[in-house]
Amino acid sequence: GTEQKKLLGKNIALIFEKSSTRTRCAFEVAAFDQGAQVSYIGPSGSQIGHKESMKDTARVLGRMYDGIEYRGFGQSIVEELGAYSGVPVWNGLTDEFHPTQILADFLTMQEHGRGKQLHEMAFAYLGDARNNMGNSLMVGAAKMGMDIRLVAPKAFWPEETLVTTCQEIALQTGAKITLTENVEEGVKGCDFLYTDVWVSMGESDQAWDERVALMTPYQVNMTVIEQTGNPHVKFMHCLPAFHNDETSLGKEVAKKYDMKGLEVTEDVFESEYSIVFDEAENRMHTIKAVMVATLGN
């Protein structure tokens, strides 16, 4: 009831070429709370990329909207949208990056950091470290001067060029970036453990066999929690998570691989260590802050 509406009279387009729960809800609620109107443009609801290029779409939407969110495929697409629309464009997720998630993650870390500043924190990301979450967490940690450990099979480390860029940033910020295949070494002393699904949106079903074989040693379970040596360690996940067999895909995976949890076990996900729902809520607060900062009256 005390919220000041700083986006009154603003019109915002939400382009979703990939499905979404948290990102869409966060943008919509944040916009409505601040007095803005939104138009949802879903995967089948427009001519984008079929009959009309993103360059042309950007110039049309920029005439009608004050800001545009894009969730979809290549990073080059959202950058083209930003280059030609003439209005603020927010990246709701691409194949390469997921920046609004990182803002929520770092806010959540501040809330649960037991008085530590971000640059005093250490966290490990386990699993597929070359996906958009691994990339984005590494960039964010480098910029904020954090101690990040990417704990993954070497074939799933981020691209060397991005690692080099982040290491150059780290020289200025005091960040520490470690890439390791050793779970025990990677998680020791961490304040937070983070993971994501082993197969990302848009990847083929055939990827599951390879990923389960390679990634199972990097599952976040109670043994890994104990290996941190930190009784106050917290578990994070951008969601959705495969932690049980209560979804249709979860059932298929559990039956095929005889595993009820994949990247994280049920006992960790539902434990006092888990802060995943605080993290999910913070998507809305941080997205609201970004929209107000870039578009607010």
The answer to whether residue 101 is catalytic is yes
Q: Are residues 152 and 231 in the same domain?
A: yes
The region of weakest confidence among 6-10, 91-95, 198-202 is 198-202
User: Phi/psi at 144 (nearest 5 deg)?
Assistant: -95, 5
Total structural domains in the chain? 2
pTM of structure: 0.96
Q: Are residues 50 and 176 in the same domain?
A: no
The answer as to whether 182 is a domain residue is: yes
- Considering the candidates 71, 112, 149, 237, report the single residue annotated as catalytic: 71
Q: Are residues 67 and 201 in the same domain?
A: no
Whether 122 and 297 have beta carbons less than 8 Å apart is answered as no
Domain that includes residue 44, residue range: 11-95
Q: Are residues 54 and 153 in the same domain?
A: no
Higher pLDDT residue, 199 or 25?
25
DSSP code at position 170: H
Q: How far apart are CA 39 and CA 34, in angstroms?
A: 15
The answer as to whether 124 is a domain residue is: yes
The answer to whether residue 209 is catalytic is no
The answer as to whether 291 is a domain residue is: no
pLDDT tens-digit readout, 110-133: 999 999 999 999 999 999 999 999
The answer as to whether 130 is a domain residue is: yes
Q: Are residues 179 and 217 in the same domain?
A: yes
- Considering the candidates 191, 196, 211, 219, report the single residue annotated as catalytic: 196
Say if residue 160's pLDDT is above 90.
Answer: yes
Q: 160: buried, middle or exposed (CB in 10 Å: 19+, 13-18, 0-12)?
A: exposed
**pLDDT at residue 235, as a whole number:** 99
- Considering the candidates 24, 98, 112, 149, report the single residue annotated as catalytic: 98
3-state secondary structure 188-215: CCCCEEEECCCCCCCCCCCHHHHHHHHH
**pLDDT at residue 1, as a whole number:** 62
Whether 122 and 144 have beta carbons less than 8 Å apart is answered as no
The answer as to whether 29 is a domain residue is: yes
Say if residue 226's pLDDT is above 90.
Answer: yes
**Other beta carbons less than 10 A from residue 251's beta carbon:** 13
- Considering the candidates 112, 147, 219, 238, report the single residue annotated as catalytic: 238
